[in-house]
């Protein structure tokens, strides 16, 4: 893919307004699937929206035409001020080193998807990665973290282990918690702040769409506590 094509695939944050998506980025719903114990274990594909070169996604949570913006931010008094750290991921990350794999963790990016929880949680599994089964569980659960809060690193190559995503946007649904979750940027979408700041490009990022995150533009899990529903 050429540099010019990559550069066009952007999400521009508008001041106290929507996410302006450019570059014909495919948009679909994705659902957090659970096992019998209610643990997050898989991503289930859902509705695909018509392809568009450009579109505006609601950021305030008030649109009556979700996921798209209908201008409600202008009458609801939405404050979309970006408060998240602009440091690089690695400058913020805590590192846990296990025998086979390591884990980096930026807690402030947590979007409450809970793939980290099965099998005793990834923060424990990392210390058991000399066991092939535990390593597989650790890598799978870490790679399923939609926000990129958690990243698995191979101690042998010193490289991160990342899922191979096409450039795309997912709208997360979380039936186990009876709520709608964040906007999920996948595959290295360039996010640009309202002031023109270019955020670090990462393979996985989650953006607030309920309007209530205290870590804008990123999701902080507040959608679950307020019961955000994109159908209302």
* 146 and 196 belong to one structural domain: no
- Looking only at the bridges linking them, the beta strands covering 10-13 and 190-192 are parallel
Domain that holds residue 110: 94-161
* 171 and 156 belong to one structural domain: no
* 33 and 139 belong to one structural domain: no
* 13 and 80 belong to one structural domain: yes
* 138 and 182 belong to one structural domain: no
pLDDT given for residue 156 in this prediction: 97
Q: Report yes or no on 213 lying in a domain.
A: yes
Rg of the chain in Å (alpha carbons): 17
The domain total for the chain is 2
* 39 and 13 belong to one structural domain: yes
* 219 and 196 belong to one structural domain: yes
* 136 and 29 belong to one structural domain: no
- Separation CA 25–CA 185 (nearest Å): 10
pLDDT given for residue 232 in this prediction: 83
* 80 and 24 belong to one structural domain: yes
pLDDT given for residue 190 in this prediction: 98
* Local mean pLDDT, 10-residue blocks, the chain (232 residues): 56 98 98 97 98 98 98 97 98 98 98 98 98 98 98 98 98 98 98 98 98 98 98 88
Q: Report yes or no on 231 lying in a domain.
A: no
- Tell me the two tokens of residue 184: 């999920």
Collapsing DSSP states into helix, strand and coil, what is residue 121?
Answer: coil
From 118, 141, 161, the end of a domain falls on: 161
* 81 and 98 belong to one structural domain: no
* 17 and 64 belong to one structural domain: yes
């Amino acid at each position: 893919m050429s540099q010019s094509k990559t550069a066009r695939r952007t999400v521009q944050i508008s001041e106290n307004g929507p996410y302006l998506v450019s570059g014909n980025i495919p948009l679909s719903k994705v659902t957090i699937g659970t096992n019998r114990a209610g643990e997050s274990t898989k991503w289930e594909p859902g509705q695909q929206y018509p392809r568009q070169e450009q579109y505006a996604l609601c950021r305030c949570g008030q649109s009556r035409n979700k996921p798209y913006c209908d201008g409600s931010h202008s009458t609801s008094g939405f404050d979309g001020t970006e408060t998240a750290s602009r440091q690089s991921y690695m400058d913020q990350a805590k590192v846990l080193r296990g025998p086979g794999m390591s884990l980096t963790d930026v807690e402030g990016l947590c979007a409450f998807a809970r793939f980290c929880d099965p099998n005793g949680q990834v923060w424990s599994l990392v210390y058991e990665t000399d066991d092939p089964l535990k390593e597989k569980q650790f890598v799978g659960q870490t790679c399923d973290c939609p926000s990129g809060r958690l990243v698995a690193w191979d101690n042998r190559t010193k490289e991160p282990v990342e899922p191979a995503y096409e450039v795309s946007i997912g709208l997360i649904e979380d039936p186990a918690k009876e709520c709608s979750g964040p906007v999920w940027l996948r595959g290295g979408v360039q996010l640009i702040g309202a002031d023109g700041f270019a955020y670090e490009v990462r393979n996985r990022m989650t953006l607030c769409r309920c309007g209530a995150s205290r870590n804008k533009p990123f999701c902080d899990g507040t959608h679950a506590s307020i019961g955000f529903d994109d159908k209302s």
